[in-house]
């Protein structure tokens, strides 16, 4: 039974990693919550199995046959130990400082991720708030996002930062149009 559970989790993870091309928005959020949990309940795996049914065609493109996936019996409610989880969640949020806006980067301590952050230019550790900070420029934020996604991290980007990034893109396009 554990290998069929892992197959269900792998199928869900494959669709999850497809982003908008995989699950619908609601299913993507639900699958993400379940996949991020280290100790999954059998009912969560059963829910994922049920959730996968409408995506049978997308799964077949990925080489996964939905009909071969067998859910855990509902009467076996309990914790399932699985190595299949998504990377850590990293939060990026805009913070205002005396030196202008910065981006706070926070995550549960992970020595490897600390090394990834230390490779970013202009990063600093805020010991008071216990987060890393990087400049709030489109280039610095995009570099951080790319580096963290390459490590399999799930990113939680606040709306203020999204708005700031969009303003930066618009300003860049306008400056390019003026110089043309």
Per-residue DSSP letter, 19: G
Examine the domain organization and report whether 129 and 48 are in the same domain.
Answer: no
* Cβ-based burial of 66 (10 A; exposed 0-12, middle 13-18, buried ≥19): middle
User: Sorting pLDDT into bands at 50, 70 and 90, what band is 78?
Assistant: low
pLDDT of residue 80: 53
User: What is the residue range of 109's domain?
Assistant: 89-179
Residue 32 has pLDDT above 70, yes or no: yes
Structure token digits, residue 29: 């959020």
Task: For Cα atoms 141, 146, 127, give the angle at the middle one, nearest 5 degrees.
Answer: 50
pLDDT of residue 93: 95
Strand stretches in 4-99, DSSP E: 39-41, 79-81, 89-97
Q: Which of 81, 110, 134 is the last residue of a domain?
A: 81
User: Sorting pLDDT into bands at 50, 70 and 90, what band is 176?
Assistant: confident
Structure token digits, residue 95: 């913070």
Query: Mean pLDDT across the chain, nearest whole number?
Result: 82
Examine the domain organization and report whether 73 and 6 are in the same domain.
Answer: yes
User: Sorting pLDDT into bands at 50, 70 and 90, what band is 118?
Assistant: very high
């Amino acid at each position: 039974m554990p290998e069929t559970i892992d197959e269900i989790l792998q199928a869900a993870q494959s669709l999850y990693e497809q982003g908008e091309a995989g699950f619908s928005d609601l299913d993507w959020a639900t699958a993400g919550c379940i996949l991020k949990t280290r100790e999954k309940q059998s009912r969560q795996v059963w829910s994922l199995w049920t959730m996968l049914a409408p995506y049978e065609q997308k799964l077949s493109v990925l080489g996964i046959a939905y009909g071969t996936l067998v859910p855990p019996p509902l009467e076996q409610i309990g914790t399932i130990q699985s190595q299949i989880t998504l990377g850590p969640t990293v939060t990026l949020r805009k913070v205002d400082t005396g030196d202008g806006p910065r981006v706070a980067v926070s995550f549960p301590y992970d020595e490897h991720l600390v090394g990834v952050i230390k490779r970013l230019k202009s990063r600093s550790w805020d010991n008071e708030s216990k987060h890393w900070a990087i400049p709030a420029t489109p280039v610095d934020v995009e570099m951080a996002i790319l580096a963290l996604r390459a490590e399999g991290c799930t990113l939680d980007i606040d709306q203020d930062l999204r708005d700031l990034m969009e303003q930066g893109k618009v300003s860049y396009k306008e400056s390019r149009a003026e110089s043309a």
